[in-house]
Every structure is written in structure tokens, then in C-alpha cells.
Amino acid sequence: MLNIVLFGPPGAGKGTQSEKLLAKYNLVHLSTGDIFRANIKNETNLGALAKTYLDSGQLVPDELTIKMLESEIDKHQNSNGFIFDGFPRTETQAKALDEFLFSKNQSITMMLALEVEENELRKRLLLRGKDSGRADDQNPEVIQNRIDEYNKKTLPLKEFYTSQNKYKGVNGVGEIATIFELLCSAIDNN
């Protein structure tokens, strides 16, 4: 199985590149952000619990996020593997994911990181806000909260996966097709 954590700050291009990787490697896409947004739209209990966090740009509490992710993994017992997009975002989540996969004789193959600097991210997110209709992309304060949450809680995961020899960084600025090729060669040469 190929289990990839696609890593990078908000606006790095994780969603765009996930779509291309899924098609090529026949993987299941698990985007925690997409799942939360779908739950909010469908007015589920989970959606009600998650909404204030998404609206303000803060991370949803670990316990809730981990439980949701594990139940999503269990829905795809016969897959070739997963692309985890937007998960894990904290060290607690990363440890929980390792333990959960270990209990199923699985593991994370690698963390692929899209490296993009902050000014470029702000520009991209505001632009995406105009097209995507995502409220959290339209408010500069919420964008800054998301970048701050990333720097504080998520960036340490680079160290977590580096210490397992699983971190691969790729330049996330440039043509979509070029970045995709960099990601594919990182996977194929693993």
C-alpha cells in the first residue's frame, strides 16, 4: 500500500496535486477539510461541532478529528492506499495515525511536502477566496490565523517525519504540471 501524507501550509496546492496523484496512483483521497465542510453543509452533528473552528481558522480539536479520520479509513478496506490531505496537523494526530495504521499492519510510506513561502500563500488564498466561495479564504484575519496555526502546531511534523526518514520536500511554486512531476518522481524513487 502507498500511504502518502501530503503536507504544506494552507494554499500550498495540496488539493490540486491530490487530485492528480489520486488518478495516477489509484488512491483514496482523505481531506479532513473537505469532510468537515461536507458535514457543515449537511448540518450533521460533526458539522455543528466543527463549524466555529473552521469559521475562525483554528484547528478542530484532535480527539474529534482523529475519530472522524479513523472511521473514514475504515470505510475503504480494500484500497491501494491513501492520500492524507490536511491530516495530520498536530503531533498528537500524527502519533494516533501511526498507531492506527500499525494496528492494521500498515504504515505511512512518506510525507510529501509542498514548500511555499508565506507571502505567496496569502496571495493565493485571497485569489482562491474569489473563486471557491470558501469563507475562510476571503478574510485576511482568518487566513492569518490559519497560517499561524500551521506554523505553531503543524510545522513541527516536518521534524516528526524527518526523524522517521519519511520527509520529502518539493518546491511548491511553479507550474502545476512541473510540481506534479516532482511529486511523482519523489514517489517513484522512494
Residues that bind ligand AMP (CB under 6 A): 10, 32-33, 36, 53-54, 57-60, 65, 86-87, 89, 93, 146
- Catalytic residue among 20, 134, 153, 158, which? 134
Residue 54 CB, nearest approach to ligand AMP (Å): 4
Residue 23 CB, nearest approach to ligand AMP (Å): 20
Calpha distance 75→81 (Å, rounded): 12
Residue 189 CB, nearest approach to ligand AMP (Å): 27
Residue 141 CB, nearest approach to ligand AMP (Å): 13
134 noted as active-site residue = yes
Q: Which is nearer to ligand AMP, 36 or 161 (CB)?
A: 36
Residue 53 CB, nearest approach to ligand AMP (Å): 4
Alpha-carbon dihedral sign for residues 170, 8, 132, 24: positive
Q: Which is nearer to ligand AMP, 93 or 183 (CB)?
A: 93
- Closest residue to ligand AMP in the complex (CB): 33
- Catalytic residue among 20, 37, 128, 158, which? 128
Cell 498528537 identifies what position?
Answer: 92
Calpha distance 108→164 (Å, rounded): 10
Helix (H, G, I), strand (E, B) or coil at 6: strand
128 noted as active-site residue = yes
Calpha distance 137→39 (Å, rounded): 18
Please give the single-letter amino acid code of residue 117: E
**Cα 132 vs. chain centroid, distance in angstroms?**
18
122 noted as active-site residue = no
37 noted as active-site residue = no
Q: Which is nearer to ligand AMP, 25 or 53 (CB)?
A: 53
Ramachandran bin of 133, using left for φ above 0, alpha for ψ from -120 to 50, beta for the remaining angles: left
89 noted as active-site residue = yes
Q: Which is nearer to ligand AMP, 139 or 162 (CB)?
A: 139
Q: Which is nearer to ligand AMP, 16 or 178 (CB)?
A: 16
111 neighbors 5 (Cβ within 8 angstroms): yes
| Residue 158 cell numbers, joined | 516536518
Alpha-carbon dihedral sign for residues 20, 22, 25, 30: positive
Residues acting as catalytic residues: 14, 89, 128, 134, 146
